[in-house]
Amino acid sequence: MMLVEIAPPHFDVEHDIAYATPNNFTGQSVYTRSGCYLHPEAAEKLARAIELARPLGYRIKIFDAFRPTEAQWVLWNHTPDPDFLADPRRGSAHSRGAAVDLTLIDAAAGEELDMGTEFDAFTPLSHHGRAEVSPAAQRNRMILLGLMSAAGWDFYQKEWWHYQLFQPRRLPLLSDSVLRVPMMPLRLSN
C-alpha cells in the first residue's frame, strides 16, 4: 500500500514529529527520522481540514501520523496504558495510516494554541470536555474538534490531539517496510 507523504508544498502543515526526537514520553527517539505519512483517504480528509482552518487564521501542526507497528511495540513496551496507547496485538489506527496527532497554530503569530495540556500528556486533563482546563483551552479544543469533525474525522475521547478515520480496523496494519526510506532503526525493523 502506498501512503501519502504529508509535507509542503502539497500540504500546508508544520511538523514536530515527537517520536523522531527524545522529546516524548519515552525520553528517547523511537524513529530514526522525521516522517509524516497517511493512508490516501486520511490524506484527503487532512487536506480538507487544512482548507477549513485557513480562512479562520489557523494552520495545523502534526506530532505523529503513520506509526509503524514496530514503533507501536516500542511505545507499548515502555508504557502499556490502554487508555492512551493501543495494544499492538490489536493494532493502532496510527499503524494503519488512519490516524493523526495534531494541534492548531495561530497563522499570524506562528504559535500553538493553548490546549490545556501538552501533546501525549497521559492524564484525564487531556480528555475532551474537561472543564478543569482554562476557558481559552476549552475553546481551542472545540475549534480543533469542529474543524476535524467537519473534515470527516472521528476523535478519541481521551486525547484532544488524536483524530482517526471512522472504522480504521478495516485497513491493514503496516510495518516500516512499506516506506521507501525506513523510519525505524534497523535492529527494530527486522
- With cell 480562512, the residue in question is 55
Beta strands in the chain (DSSP E): 4-5, 13-15, 37-38, 58-64, 99-106, 111-112, 154-155, 162-164
Q: Which of 5, 70, 132, 159 is catalytic?
A: 159
Q: How many CA atoms lie within 13 A of 74 on its CB side?
A: 23
What Å distances lie between residue 71 and 15, 53, 54, 182, CA to CA?
18, 30, 32, 12
Distance in angstroms (rounded) separating the CA atoms of residues 50 and 94: 19
Helix (H, G, I), strand (E, B) or coil at 44: helix
Check if 159 is active-site.
Answer: yes
Residues with catalytic roles: 159
